[in-house]
Amino acid sequence: MPDPLTIARLQGLNNFLEVIYNQPRRLSDILHNQHFTDDEITILKQEHLNACLTTFIAGLQAILEEMEDQRLKGIMTCRYGLDNGQRMIFQDIGHIYGVSRERIRQLHNKAVRKLRNPRKKERLERLASRRAGL
């Protein structure tokens, strides 16, 4: 059974994917799209989930790094708890960056628009298949 931090990070990642895809979406859905079998996904969840999450999130953060405004990476990481499993609200993120909750919401929406680009989504899909290691 995965530890609580791994579960929190997975929930944050799944929430992140739902926002980016603008529909219910989970890491397992991406793996299915990359032709992983149900058995392979079960093994991944039971034995390799933390390692898979760590590498997938590192690749995701590399995609975020490419954005011209580096705050966007931090905002998305904090909002979805990608690093520590602790999801934050816009107001708390605003305190970190010294701006209003509304400005954080605007920057979050900007990052989402950029990540909804079909090329970025395609990279996310490829990232899942390459990083899962099954």
- Report yes or no: 26 and 14 within 8 Å, Cβ to Cβ: yes
- Tens-digit pLDDT profile for residues 38-75: 887 777 777 778 877 887 888 888 888 888 888 999 99
In the chain, the domains with their CATH numbers are 4-132 (1.10.10.10)
pLDDT of residue 89: 97
Q: What is the DSSP letter of 99?
A: S
- Give the predicted TM-score (pTM) of the model: 0.81
Gap between the Cα atoms of 26 and 97, Å rounded: 29
Q: What is the mean pLDDT of residues 72-101?
A: 95
**What is the mean pLDDT of the segment spanning 79-104?**
95
Collapsing DSSP states into helix, strand and coil, what is residue 117?
A: coil
99: pLDDT strictly greater than 80: yes
